[in-house]
Amino acid sequence: MKQQAGLLTAIILFACLTTGFAQHKHSFKIEDGHFVYDGKPTAIYSGEMHYARIPREYWKQRLQMAKAMGLNTITTYVFWNFHETSPGVWDFKTGNHNLREFIKTAAAEGLMVILRPGPYACAEWEFGGYPWWLQNNKNLVIRTNNKSFLDSCNTYITKLITEIKDLQITNGGPVIMIQAENEFGSYVAQRKDIPLSEHKAYSAAIKNQLVKAGVTVPLFTSDGSWLFEGGTIEGALPAANGEDDVANLRKVVDQYHGGKGPYMVAEYYPGWLDHWAEPFPKVSTEAVLKQVKKYLDNDVSFNFYMVHGGTNFGFTAGANYDKDHDLQPDMTSYDYDAPISEAGWVTPKYTALRDMFKTVVKYPVPVVPPAIPVITIPSIKLTSSLDLEAYKSVVKPVVSDTPLSFEALNQGYGYVMYTKQFDQPVNGKLTIKGLRDFATVYVNGERKGVLNRYYNTYSMDIHIPAKAKLEILVENMGRINYGSEINNNLKGIISPVMIDSATITGGWLMYRLPMDKMPVLADGSCKSMKGQPTLYGATFTLNKTGDNFLDMHKWGKGIVFINGHNLGRYWSVGPQQTLYVPGVWLKKGSNKVVIFEQLNDSTQNTLETVSMPVLEKLVPR
């Protein structure tokens, strides 16, 4: 009986510890220049990770990693387009869409939670989190004091807050703060064509929608310290992004917060984002330790952006742009050179930070959880193939006199094949100024060239014989997620197609290829031609499962599905040469893989895996 009683006591104690916030109602306020938790001034040591970028089965391990580094808080963006999967269709339940479970898991690990719901998120995420179909409403202008846009935002905010209202600390949950809008000061600086009063009316409207929907925890904003004038919202704590000067942080927060703190860096960058075709940026461990120590020594709260980046699975990666590139697509890996790697591993940066936190924080720092097991898979023999011409034969085309955008075709992501039959021969320079984003061009099935928005390549010489067919396969490589160009985010072909000075009109056929589900290939089918976009398939058997990485360095450009999961894009230019495969997406026994290879410069026979990611191998053009 004593053993049974002891066991019962242990079970009750364990339940109390793991339910954390659910068992005890805590309080959190901003008062007297401090964050005050349960009546005591408390510093926030937060790490950002996005549940949308992590398989649901790995949330607990990743959160335990953050806790074991010494953090007391987790911050996450909520991506509107991740939850409203099509107009009026919401998903807060399936897979890693279950935001409530993520929040509750964080609480069970003893972590406070900060939410950043936008409605604009940035985050190198497709369209900064906005649903693509907003662009089909011609009366709607995003991120402005525009009724159609604010009405759409209100629908989203109301739905979201209904989902998490009871998880706020004011209702016994772990959510201590919620962000109002996001980095709005940057947008104000980029849109000087809009009066500041209009910008302020918009951001105030977003704050009011949050409050009306049921937000009862403190609100905050985050901007570069030089952008507070445009980004701050009355009644919300201003926090600075990327601010390394503590004196300047105090100065600007005091200016916009009644002469007092608390002082918080809402985004401190221990790493940086990565684009295709560009070097992988790195931030040294020494530099990170030096800056974090400065925050710790000066009572500055902070949030590591990112503590763990995760992966841009499927078509979720966004894009940037600069003076040299009309589009800078973000890589599939969102490793971010963060303390916790893409696959959830300890890094030297993690260990050094953990050692520092253990000497500073008053609460216990738990042991580091074990890493997810990694396996290697023997060479996978590709047993079926199908060229795109055969695959699209079952797709009913849309007919139009002119090419239509993805949005006009009611398609958000993936690919569209634009085709045009020519009766007479045509020679000249093919120009598609409105290409969005990557096109392979074929005449009678033979590839003639590639157009690419990253390299600002919009034209090529072309010869089209009589009775020939022109085909243009266009890929959406991710909508811009930051900057004023976020308002110009249509995909596909959005301008006339020209050959020399002639506009090519009449009889355009558009085949929608959203690749929203894993294509089905018949086992043993073999229909592939070098230079033709091709689907490859295979079945492979596993005795055990574990994480691994697909080695894509011999492939050209495309996407990979495993057991129905879209792992994301690969592109031979690098620097990413592998794709992360979460072990929880594999099965003991039979597994299926399908690769859509857009370029197919050489026929592929096998798919290889490796045990370590390759994220820094840039291939010169």
Hey, which residues are catalytic here?
183, 267
Residue 380, classed as helix, strand or coil, is: strand
What is the CB-side half-sphere exposure of residue 47 using CA atoms within 13 A?
28
Please say whether the beta carbons of 420 and 482 come within 8 A.
Answer: no
Please say whether the beta carbons of 302 and 268 come within 8 A.
Answer: yes
Look-up of token digits 């064509």: 193
Look up residue 49 and give its two tokens: 């990770």
**Summary count for the chain: helices (H), strands (E):** 12, 37
Please say whether the beta carbons of 458 and 451 come within 8 A.
Answer: yes
Please say whether the beta carbons of 311 and 332 come within 8 A.
Answer: yes
Enumerate the β-bridge partners of residue 386: 527, 535
Angle at 469 between CA 467 and CA 475, to 5 degrees: 170
Q: At what angle do helices 99-108 and 2-19 cross, to 10 degrees?
A: 120
Residue 295, classed as helix, strand or coil, is: helix
Q: How far is the C-alpha of 512 from the C-alpha of 268, rounded, in Å?
A: 41
- Could you please report the per-residue DSSP string of 188-234? HHH-TTS-HHHHHHHHHHHHHHHHHHT--SPEEEEE-GGGHHHH--T
Residue 261, number of CB atoms within 10 A of its CB: 20
| Amino acid identity, position 522 | A
Angle at 289 between CA 285 and CA 295, to 5 degrees: 145
Q: How far is the C-alpha of 464 from the C-alpha of 472, rounded, in Å?
A: 13
In 260-373 the beta strands, taken as DSSP E runs, fall at 264-268, 301-304, 319-320, 328-329
Please say whether the beta carbons of 204 and 234 come within 8 A.
Answer: yes
Let me know if 360 is exposed, middle or buried by CB neighbors in 10 A (0-12, 13-18, 19+).
middle
Question: What's the Cα-to-Cα distance from 373 to each of 104, 345, 367, 376, 482, rounded to whole Å?
Answer: 25, 10, 18, 10, 36
Look-up of token digits 């031979």: 572
Q: Sign of the C-alpha dihedral, residues 563, 565, 567, 570?
A: positive
Helix (H) or strand (E) holding 421, with range, is: strand 415-422
Please say whether the beta carbons of 533 and 388 come within 8 A.
Answer: yes
The torsion angles phi and psi of 222, rounded to 5 degrees, stand at -140, 130
What is the CB-side half-sphere exposure of residue 331 using CA atoms within 13 A?
33
Helix (H) or strand (E) holding 82, with range, is: helix 80-83
